[in-house]
Amino acid sequence: MMKTLLALICALCFGAVAQAAELECIVPSKPGGAMDLTCKLAQKGLQGLHDAPNPPPSDMHISYLPGGIGAVAWHSLVSGRRTAPNTLVAFSGGSLLNLAQGKFGTLKATDVRWVAALGADYGMIAVRADSPYKTLHDLVAALKANPQKVLIGVSGTIGSQDWLKMAMVARSAGIDPKALRFVALEGGGEAFTAMHASYVQAVSGDASEAALYAASGNTRVLAVLSEQRLPGVLANVPTAREQGVDVVWPIIRGVWMGPQASDADYHRWVTAFDRVLASPQFAQMRAASGLYPFGLTGDALAAYVKKAVDDYGKRAAELGLVR
């Protein structure tokens, strides 16, 4: 009996050590969207450090924890896995917007440890390749004529960043956002799937997601919400500003870890991502993923996040969205 008990204790201890050593990146949405892309980019970047001195674990396991547009993953780490040394969670500007609006309950930006921003993304508006809407003007005209006839797929509900992008486009064109018909979906991958199945007629999402689908020829991107046209697959897509709609929506993408991860573990990951971001190979990986240069780690990222959450809170308050 005693031997059995000791064997069980050893097995449990070994399992705990193995779990602590395994590197996991949590995607807080369903597969196929930009959050998924963020973890895969982190995975590729870390694999490039294999030959570096004292490399961190790079055999990254990617898992999916959708729900509440990031809230389930957030609460899972903050409440139950606060000290996890090798667990990262993908985030975006949308995560910061949700924090600003109180969609994660009482949790604040200071309740986690911000590790690294890996790149920048931009909002975009897309339709199916066979859609009658050839330009952003065509879509806006249809919304003006009868907003009830155009279903718009977004990741999240009222107040999510995808909702807010389309609401700002509508308001810029003199359309009341409350008149639009939004379909709330869980992540960008699900939104594009719904559009390709004709459940919705348009998607308000991210350029990195759109680049994945536009390359296959089944998606038409009507506008990117950037200051200038973007390089790569979407190089021929005009900005919203070019089409008379003055809306720009940049998005940062990166990873954070639990609030009680040790200083040693936290700084180990900050240092690892400093090396990743400095790598010319990573710049190529980032571009191939449809992201654009933007890199911050550690304290600098934490300061950026605090300011961004404050700014999002002011914008959301102007639209009556803050709880």
Find tokens 């985030």 and name the residue. 91
Examine the domain organization and report whether 97 and 190 are in the same domain.
no
What residues form DSSP beta bridges with 119? 253
H or E stretch covering 296: strand 296-297
- CATH number of the domain where residue 178 is located: 3.40.190.10
The tally of domains found in the chain comes to: 2
- CATH number of the domain where residue 115 is located: 3.40.190.150
1 occurs within a structural domain: no
Cα–Cα distance measured from residue 18 to residue 178, given in angstroms and rounded to the nearest whole number: 50
84 occurs within a structural domain: yes
Examine the domain organization and report whether 258 and 230 are in the same domain.
no
The boundaries of the domain holding residue 59 are 23-120+251-318
Q: What is the pLDDT of residue 42?
A: 95
Task: Quote helix, strand, coil % in the chain, to nearest 5.
Answer: 50, 20, 30
14 occurs within a structural domain: no
Q: Which two tokens stand for residue 318?
A: 């102007």
Examine the domain organization and report whether 289 and 230 are in the same domain.
no
Examine the domain organization and report whether 149 and 100 are in the same domain.
no
2 occurs within a structural domain: no
Examine the domain organization and report whether 134 and 276 are in the same domain.
no
Q: What is the pLDDT of residue 4?
A: 38
Examine the domain organization and report whether 128 and 241 are in the same domain.
yes
For the chain (length 323 residues), average pLDDT per consecutive 10? 36 36 86 88 87 60 84 81 88 88 84 95 95 96 94 86 90 89 87 94 92 87 95 92 92 93 94 95 90 94 94 78 62
> What's the CA dihedral at 317, 124, 287, 297 to 10 degrees?
10
Examine the domain organization and report whether 111 and 139 are in the same domain.
no
Examine the domain organization and report whether 113 and 129 are in the same domain.
no
Examine the domain organization and report whether 167 and 236 are in the same domain.
yes
Examine the domain organization and report whether 236 and 258 are in the same domain.
no
Cα–Cα distance measured from residue 176 to residue 166, given in angstroms and rounded to the nearest whole number: 11
Q: Strand, coil or helix: what is 85?
A: coil
Q: What is the pLDDT of residue 306?
A: 94
Cα–Cα distance measured from residue 140 to residue 130, given in angstroms and rounded to the nearest whole number: 17
Examine the domain organization and report whether 33 and 116 are in the same domain.
yes
Cα–Cα distance measured from residue 156 to residue 257, given in angstroms and rounded to the nearest whole number: 23
Q: What is the pLDDT of residue 237?
A: 96
Cα–Cα distance measured from residue 154 to residue 163, given in angstroms and rounded to the nearest whole number: 6
Examine the domain organization and report whether 176 and 220 are in the same domain.
yes
